[in-house]
Amino acid sequence: MENALIGRKEEQKRLESIYNSGKNEFVAVYGRRRVGKTFLIKEFFHNKFDFYFTGIYQATKTEQLREFTRQLSETSNQELKRPSTWFDAFALLKKYLETLADKQRIVIFLDEVPWIDTPKSDFLKAFEYFWNSYGASQKNIMLIVCASATTWMRDKLFGNKGGLYNRMTNVLYLSPFSLAETEEYLQSRSIAFNRYQILETYMILGGIPLYLSMLEKELSLAQNINQLFFATNAKLKSEYKFLFSSLFRESTVCKNIVELLAKKASGMTRQEIIEALKLSTGGKLSTMLNDLIDSDFIRPYTGLGKKVRETVYQLCDLFALFYLRYVASYTGNDIHHWSNMTDSPSKRAWSGYAFEQVCFHHIKQIKAKLGISGIESNVYSYRNTDFQIDMLIDRRDQVINLCEMKFSLSEFEIDKQYDEHLRRRRELFRNFTSTKKSLHITMITTYGIKQNIYSGDVQSEVTGEDLFER
């Protein structure tokens, strides 16, 4: 199926394979809100479905059923009466699909399913019955369900112990664009940013297609950010609050966790989060942390030699990081606010942490540049009371890369003091971990390191250009 989609090459290959499988398919598509799930499905199928219905945010059961019936009436060219239950609604859908029995492939797309499953609506029971009594036995049906609310997807579909247990044939996870895909997307819209500007764009908008689509080619990056966040009625000023209310049942606590982690660059353990927010130690917190992980807001890591209970959680959503650092508490009226922050201490501190998170989003590219793509390895962060290492790559070939990430406007210059810092940290790490592996200092910078008398102790380099590799 030819289309004009940017990026998503692997996802399109999988959809093509599933569509042509010649068997019954039940596909779940999930990922962070605004990441382009609905757009991918609609563009891939050229918006041609045998039936399509999307849930309505905060609508009642009656309102959902009314819209479902309207869509089915329009698709089937019949005037249907609104049913009072979801069982009756799916019976109407079955009756319509039976008229298409001779089609080689029937594609049904149910979008924002968690919004349809309103309290006491019995939607899930009816959906299970429809699929088990009819859909699952039809070899020509391809059912696609899509959602951003990962709690619902995990509990009601992936972890279903009832009628939908083991029914899904494929799960498709959609992640934010990589730097390469972001560049391709911006070029397709004639936005002439260089790679440094694309990198900074990514540090602010996080490779989220919808946010990138709001950029205007006539404006500079700084002007675009002013427009999106600081102008009167800025498009993204209220986006942060909507993200949480539309994604999570426990939206307030999830938001509190993210805002707490935004203040602690090195991350926090579960116990530290509990103490800081005065939360219960029950399983509810585990659920909320998993929701935030599944939605790409936070990342967990267990340090080298650490136990699972010492897992550290770190904010990795770049949009949330930027919003909380600069937009949430801004009360001024300067529509040129971001332009006026060029090279400020605050911007330098933010860009350092944001660049680190960009690197964690591009581990594949870092490993490729280091020539270790085929070597088994684990990526960690390391921290103790004396020092921390933001990224280390522990390799099966008896080497650990101690990665130092620096965002700068030109080549990064290592001076005598910084050279001593690097060597001291390497020895501290060796002493604290008692590792026998070789320790390689790796610099990950925007433009590489400047060669001088102090640069010789760096075993390997990765530049911003390398992060753009596919």
Q: Which amino acid makes up residue 4? A: A
Give the pLDDT score at 358: 97
User: What number of H helices and E strands is found in the chain?
Assistant: 19, 13
* CATH topology (fold) of 177-361: Arc Repressor Mutant, subunit A (1.10.10)
Q: Mean per-residue pLDDT for 146-160?
A: 79
Q: pLDDT-based confidence at 176, cuts 50/70/90?
A: very high
Instruction: Give the CA radius of gyration of the chain.
Output: 25
| Residue (of 85, 81, 131, 133) closest to 108 by Cα position | 131
Question: What residue spans define the domains of the chain?
Answer: 9-174, 177-361, 362-470
pLDDT digits (tens, 9 = 90+) for 306-321: 777 788 999 999 999 9
Chain mean pLDDT for the chain = 92
Exposed/middle/buried for residue 346 (C-beta within 10 Å: 0-12, 13-18, 19+): exposed
User: What Å distances lie between residue 132 and 163, 373, 419, CA to CA?
Assistant: 7, 43, 65
* CATH topology (fold) of 362-470: Trna Endonuclease; Chain: A, domain 1 (3.40.1350)
Give the pLDDT score at 294: 85
Q: pLDDT-based confidence at 165, cuts 50/70/90?
A: low
| Residue (of 429, 424, 448) closest to 439 by Cα position | 429
Cα-to-chain-centroid distance, residue 211: 13
Q: Which of 128-132, 331-335, 377-381 has the lowest mean pLDDT?
A: 331-335
User: What Å distances lie between residue 339 and 198, 220, 320, 347, CA to CA?
Assistant: 16, 10, 20, 11
Positive or negative, the CA dihedral 115, 121, 125, 126 is negative
Give the pLDDT score at 151: 74
Residue 389, strand partner residues:
382
Q: Which of 216-225, 240-249, 322-331 has the lowest mean pLDDT?
A: 240-249
- DSSP, residue by residue, 374-435: TS-EEEEEEE-SS-EEEEEEEETTSEEEEEEEE--SSPBPP-HHHHHHHHHHHHHHHHHH--
User: What Å distances lie between residue 39 and 140, 173, 185, 305, CA to CA?
Assistant: 23, 14, 14, 42
pLDDT digits (tens, 9 = 90+) for 187-220: 999 999 999 999 999 999 999 999 999 999 999 9
Q: Produce one character per residue of 222-243: b if its CB has 16 or more CB atoms within 10 Å, e if not.
A: bbbbbbbbbbeebebbebbeeb
- DSSP, residue by residue, 217-286: TTS-HHHHHIIIIISTT-TTTTHHHHHHHHH-TTHHHHHHHHHHHTT-TT-EEHHHHHHHHT---SHHHH
- In this predicted structure, the answer to whether residue 155 has a pLDDT above a threshold of 90 is no
- In this predicted structure, the answer to whether residue 2 has a pLDDT above a threshold of 50 is no
Domain 9-174 is classified in which CATH homologous superfamily? P-loop containing nucleotide triphosphate hydrolases (3.40.50.300)
Q: Which residues contact 464 (CB under 8 A, 6 or more apart)?
A: 195, 196, 199, 445, 446, 447
Give the pLDDT score at 388: 87
**179 with 207: CB under 8 angstroms?**
yes
pLDDT digits (tens, 9 = 90+) for 51-103: 999 999 999 999 999 999 999 999 999 999 999 999 999 999 999 999 999 99
Give the pLDDT score at 1: 45
Phi, psi of 322 (to 5 degrees): -65, -45
Q: Which of 1-15, 214-228, 243-257, 310-324 has the lowest mean pLDDT?
A: 1-15
Give the pLDDT score at 232: 85
E strand residue ranges, 58-124:
106-111
Residue with the larger pLDDT of the pair 108 and 309? 108
pLDDT digits (tens, 9 = 90+) for 249-307: 788 899 999 999 999 888 999 999 999 999 876 668 888 898 899 888 999 987 766 77
Q: Which residues contact 453 (CB under 8 A, 6 or more apart)?
A: none
User: What Å distances lie between residue 108 and 42, 142, 160, 239, CA to CA?
Assistant: 11, 6, 21, 30
Q: Which residues contact 133 (CB under 8 A, 6 or more apart)?
A: none
pLDDT digits (tens, 9 = 90+) for 437-468: 999 999 999 999 999 999 999 999 999 999 99
Which run of H or of E encompasses 144?
A: strand 141-147
DSSP state for residue 337 in the 8-state scheme: T
The model's pTM: 0.91
Q: Mean per-residue pLDDT for 160-187?
A: 87
Give the pLDDT score at 92: 98
- In this predicted structure, the answer to whether residue 434 has a pLDDT above a threshold of 50 is yes
Q: What is d(CA 234, CA 228) in angstroms, rounded to the nearest whole number?
A: 5
Cβ-based neighbour number of residue 39 at 10 Å:
16
Q: What is d(CA 3, CA 451) in angstroms, rounded to the nearest whole number?
A: 47
Q: What is d(CA 55, CA 146) in angstroms, rounded to the nearest whole number?
A: 10
Q: What is d(CA 246, CA 148) in angstroms, rounded to the nearest whole number?
A: 8
